[in-house]
């Protein structure tokens, strides 16, 4: 099974935490999720109970260990953008999932990146279909 770094907003806001949890639970049936803690409903916008430097070190180790990154990018997050950039620099495949909802716009830096596959979805089932296709592409 492939190791996946699932990226999502933490300090940028946890309003989508139930969505992240559902996506991670699904992703765990298809892969090893290194960052399942990010989908924990108990995790607040304060993040993990670690120093900023410990969080950076832990997350970077996970990105290095991962075979690919899947990022839910609907809620803007500086950290997620940073993680995507680092993953791209390391040559890791990246899937950015953006939910089509009123008032939300995806950063041009993500949408326009040739190294990141960006897919827009309307329902969680659509996102799950995109995840399945992405994981299958990793096996080729």
pLDDT digits (tens, 9 = 90+) for 72-101: 999 989 999 999 999 999 999 999 999 988
- What tens digit of pLDDT does each residue of 107-134 get? 999 999 999 999 999 999 999 999 999 9
pTM of structure: 0.93
Indicate the domain borders of the chain: 3-138
Contacts 24+ apart (CB under 8 A), 22-31: 22/124, 23/72, 23/97, 23/124, 23/127, 23/128, 23/131, 26/128, 26/131, 27/70, 27/131, 30/1, 30/131, 30/132, 30/135, 31/1, 31/2, 31/3, 31/4, 31/135
User: CATH class for domain 3-138?
Assistant: alpha beta
Confidence check: pLDDT of 54 > 60: yes
């Amino acid at each position: 099974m492939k190791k996946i770094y699932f990226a999502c907003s933490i300090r940028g806001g946890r309003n989508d935490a139930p969505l992240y949890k559902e996506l991670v639970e699904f992703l765990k049936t298809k892969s090893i999720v290194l960052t399942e803690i990010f989908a924990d409903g108990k995790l607040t916008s304060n993040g993990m109970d670690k120093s900023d430097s410990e969080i950076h070190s832990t997350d970077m180790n996970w990105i290095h260990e991962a075979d690919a990154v899947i990022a839910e990018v609907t809620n803007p997050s500086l950290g997620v953008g940073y993680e995507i950039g680092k993953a791209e620099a390391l040559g890791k495949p990246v899937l950015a999932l953006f939910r089509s909802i009123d008032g939300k716009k995806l950063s041009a830096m993500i949408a326009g990146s040739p190294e990141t596959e960006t897919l827009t979805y309307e329902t969680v089932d659509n996102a799950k279909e995109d995840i399945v296709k992405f994981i299958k592409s990793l096996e080729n």
